[in-house]
């Protein structure tokens, strides 16, 4: 079993030790940082397949770390919050988090969420292809994206959503299907996580030169890429 390198930034050292033992048995190698600045420095210096990031940290909040990270990298990020406030979840997703979990959490659910993140971000080397739609290009191998040959700063989840939408440009994709393909989970009755990712993606892409929206929302049904 290949160990997946995971960084956790959380000031609860006892929790980090517990998760390190649990995740090691599941094929994950956990590196821990216990304050905001140290965690950000470690995330920038070393390569990790995913990052577990607490919201409340000494020296620098998790949201501040996420904002800084998203300027330079698209490593999948799973946010943790003991407060469980909806505003934390919404703001985290707006800043580029790929998933969100309230504390205390079941380690089994954490493992399942991490595996889902890794599945979504895994490179398929034997299926390399570049999709083109107007001024947008998406490499389906690396999930890198460009607009007018300038790289787009997208999270892995946003890039995957863009790829799925462009693959079926002009066709309606219902929200449940898009969530299962891009987030690896069905949507709950009040789950707005997919909508937040699409909103972020729409903002980063901007409109077509003629002012038309690139991603059209069909109320109560889903999305289509124009």
Single pTM value for the model: 0.61
List every span in the chain annotated with CATH 3.40.50.2300.
4-121
User: What local confidence, expressed as pLDDT, does residue 83 receive?
Assistant: 64
Q: Which class is domain 4-121?
A: alpha beta
Domain 125-225 matching CATH 3.20.20.540: the answer reads no
List every span in the chain annotated with CATH 1.10.10.10.
125-225
CB atoms within 10 A of CB 184: 18
For every residue of 54-100, DSSP letters joined together read: ESS-SSS-HHHHHHHHTTT----EEEEESS--HHHHHHHHHHT-SEE
Distance of alpha carbon 166 from alpha carbon 67, whole angstroms:
27
pLDDT in tens, the chain (226 residues): 457 899 999 999 998 998 899 889 888 999 999 999 999 999 988 889 899 999 999 999 999 999 888 877 778 899 998 766 677 777 788 788 888 888 888 888 999 989 888 887 664 434 458 888 888 888 887 788 988 878 899 988 999 999 999 988 888 999 999 999 999 888 888 888 999 999 999 999 999 877 889 999 998 889 999 8
């Amino acid at each position: 079993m290949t160990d997946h390198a995971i960084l956790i930034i959380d000031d609860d050292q006892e929790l980090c030790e517990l998760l390190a033992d649990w995740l090691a048995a599941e094929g994950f190698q956990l590196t821990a940082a216990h304050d905001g600045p140290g965690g950000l420095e470690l995330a920038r210096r070393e390569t990790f397949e995913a990052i577990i990031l607490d919201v409340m940290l000494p020296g620098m909040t998790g949201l501040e770390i996420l904002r800084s990270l998203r300027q330079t990298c698209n490593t999948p990020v799973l946010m943790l919050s003991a407060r469980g406030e909806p505003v934390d979840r919404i703001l985290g997703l707006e800043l580029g988090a790929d998933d969100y979990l309230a504390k205390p959490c079941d380690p089994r659910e954490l493992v399942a969420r991490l595996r889902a993140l890794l599945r979504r971000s895994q490179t398929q080397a034997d299926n390399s292809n570049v999709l083109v739609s107007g001024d947008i290009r998406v490499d389906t191998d690396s999930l890198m994206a460009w607009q007018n040959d300038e790289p787009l700063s997208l999270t892995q989840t946003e890039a995957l959503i863009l790829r799925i939408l462009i693959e079926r440009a002009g066709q309606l994709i219902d929200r449940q299907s898009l969530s299962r393909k891009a987030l690896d989970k069905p949507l709950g009755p009040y789950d707005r996580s997919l909508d937040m990712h699409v909103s972020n993606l729409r903002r980063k892409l901007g409109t077509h030169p003629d002012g038309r929206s690139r991603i059209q929302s069909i109320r109560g049904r889903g999305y289509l890429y124009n």
